[in-house]
Amino acid sequence: MAGIQNIRKNLSGPTAKVISWAIIITFALFFGWGTVFSGSDANNVLSVNGKKVDVFDLQSEMGNLQQQIREQFENEEIELDPELLKQLAINSLIRDSLISSYLEGQELNIPDSVAYEILSLDPAFVDAGVFNKERFDLIALQNGLSPTKLLENFKQDLMIRYWNIGVGQSEFLSMRRFDRSLELANQTRDITFTRLDFSKEEDNVKFTDESLREYFDSNQNKFLSEEKFSISYIEISSQQFSEENVNEEDLESEYKAYVEDFDSSVRRKASHLMINVIETQELALEKAKSIKEKINQDNFSDLVAEFSEDEGSKNNGGDLGVSDGTAFPFEFEEALKGLNVGDVSSPIFLEDSNSYHILKLTELISPKPESFEERKEKIKTALLLDLKETKFSELFENLSDLSFSLEELDLISEELNLEIKEINSATLSELNDIFSDSQLEDLLLDREVTQGQTSDVIELSGSRALVFRLDEYQDSYLKEFESVRSEVETLFANEMAEESFIKKEQELLDSLNSSDSFVNSMEDKGLKSETYKGLTRNSSLFPRSVMNDIFEIPRTNIGKEVYSSSLSNGDKIIFYLDGINAAETNLSRTEEGDEAFRDFLTQERAQSLLSELQTTLRSKANISTKEVELTN
């Protein structure tokens, strides 16, 4: 697709660093780092083509959406209903999963090295001015989250943002199309409409015991019990090992290795002001030179906000982050070597992005290793964690060997002195809530574990593992009619109401389309009609979906046909297009306003392409969701 080349282009250069910064900030602002890393043992809430999404992902996306809403309305106090926010987040996660799978199929990926470089922009992962992989792993593991999962989530988010940028940069809008779009955007429409109330249809549904039983017999698959499993299991975890003391000799040895490996090379922190080449290089260079002449010691950030064309960094002073001499483009690194702190460079041309950049060296960082006392607790924590992981690995190997050789769960328990736990008559969803891992569910569904036999070792997330024995399996069965009668009544009434409502809607449309007068026909049927003139696209009279239906009717159909549009509660809007009014000829236009509208149209078109792709992917996807309770 059109955006692929732009994605590959955007995988390098300063813009990448700025994009990731927004992702990191979204997590940190809403949850705080402790919460961001705490989700590995949470329940799975979603599966897209077999890929599991858990509560960590859901809560992160909910935070992202909540923060976007607060920023849009400039109100830090605004709060969405939690259930609504959860549903919006689930839909967003489905879209992201579909797009990321598509991009993986196109052999596009973010290398780990690039992700680590971008993550170095956040101080949570930086030690002595550079990204520290050990700190990244340690923070993740201390909070029960696999470092691999944290990294994969970040890379997926980053790739999707590149995809959006790539598609947006691929769109072209001609002047003719722009003028036509502006004209259509400002036209108004006159309509006459009435509203059909679905709730009244539900109230009119009548049923008997016989009709309910007939519905029950015809839809037995809706009233089956869940399969149930009784299992015995042995679970091991790195958390089961108690804290142990680390001797001073080990601490000093680790500190010595830390000092020997410490990278004390100078780091440079920089900001930039970017000017794109729109017409010719000469004009862009002239503009960059004129801006440089205006720069003094204190106004660089103000000039960046006014003139820079890097939308990702212009609002934070053009900050590019920190480089050890390799993170920035070669041209940037060479220029920064010749600057003192506070100095600005001459305009630098980057061929890859076809743009000029004025750099400002904002800070020189000369990293120094921490003293032994400063570093001592960090070393101790890392050694203790390593010790736990080592003991867990040894126990895991022993458990694996014994489950293969002894096969009996009781014998394994005696040999390792580990407790056998039991779960009786649990559904798959209940088991998944307990273990938070799809492997156990897959084994039980595929019947690969025979009743009475011990399974192989299943490695779980968060340094956990288990072996289990299936003690009893209870197949699903048809529930007794009386036990589900209320559920039968609800489903039956809803389906009958929908069927009747659709029939009534179609009969009304047929009658109105054959009538000479919409209003008179409405009155004859005892329905109240309303007329609204000068309806604009951004009117709050109807929801956006209905407004789209109204404005999609072609001019040739004025006064010729009656239409229907659905509301989220099931109600229908029946309407008739009376007229289309052209935009005012004296509509004031400015260069700034036209540019803003052009950007809007380009973004809309890019979103449309994304939506088309998502719709196609979703129609072919295997998607399942599970209801969970979220805790604060």
Residues 140-167 pLDDT 10s: 655 555 667 677 777 877 777 766 666 5
Segment 281-290, tens digit of pLDDT? 999 999 999 9
- What are the backbone dihedrals phi and psi of residue 127, each rounded to the nearest 5 degrees, phi first? -130, 120
Q: What is the Cα–Cα distance from 141 to 211, expressed in whole angstroms?
A: 57
Whether the per-residue pLDDT at 462 is higher than 80: the answer is: no
Percentage of residues of the chain with pLDDT beyond 90: 15
Segment 565-574, tens digit of pLDDT? 988 888 899 9
Q: From 3.10.50.40, 3.40.630.30, 3.40.50.720, 3.30.70.890, which CATH number describes the 267-365 domain? A: 3.10.50.40
Question: Which pLDDT value is given to residue 347?
Answer: 94
Residue with more model confidence, 76 or 385: 385
Question: Which pLDDT value is given to residue 482?
Answer: 93
Segment 43-86, tens digit of pLDDT? 567 777 777 777 767 877 787 787 777 776 666 667 777 778 88
Average pLDDT over residues 127-133: 71
Would you call 371 helix, strand, or coil by DSSP? Answer: coil
Strand order from edge to edge, sheet including 348-350: 319-323, 267-276, 355-365, 348-350
Domain ranges within the chain, ordered by starting residue: 3-172, 188-223+485-581, 228-247+373-474, 267-365
Instruction: For the beta carbon of residue 201, count every other beta carbon within 10 angstroms.
Output: 22
Ranges of H-type helices in 514-543: 518-524
Mean pLDDT, the chain, rounded, equals 77
Cβ atoms 118, 10 nearer than 8 A:
no
Whether the per-residue pLDDT at 1 is higher than 70: the answer is: no
Question: Which pLDDT value is given to residue 454?
Answer: 83
Average pLDDT over residues 106-113: 72
**Conformational region of residue 74, where left means phi above 0, alpha means psi within -120 to 50, and beta covers everything else:** left
Average pLDDT over residues 126-147: 67
Percentage of residues of the chain with pLDDT beyond 70: 77
Strand order from edge to edge, sheet including 572-581: 530-535, 188-196, 572-581, 562-566
Confidence of residue 358 (pLDDT cuts 50, 70, 90): very high
Ranges of H-type helices in 192-329: 198-203, 209-218, 248-261, 281-294, 300-307
Confidence of residue 7 (pLDDT cuts 50, 70, 90): very low
Beta strand ranges found along 22-100 (DSSP E): 44-48, 51-54
Question: Which pLDDT value is given to residue 97?
Answer: 80
Q: What is the Cα–Cα distance from 208 to 315, expressed in whole angstroms?
A: 66
Fold of domain 3-172: Triger factor/SurA peptide-binding fold (1.10.4030)
Segment 578-630, tens digit of pLDDT? 888 876 544 555 555 556 555 655 566 656 666 666 677 777 777 777 665 55
Confidence of residue 477 (pLDDT cuts 50, 70, 90): very high
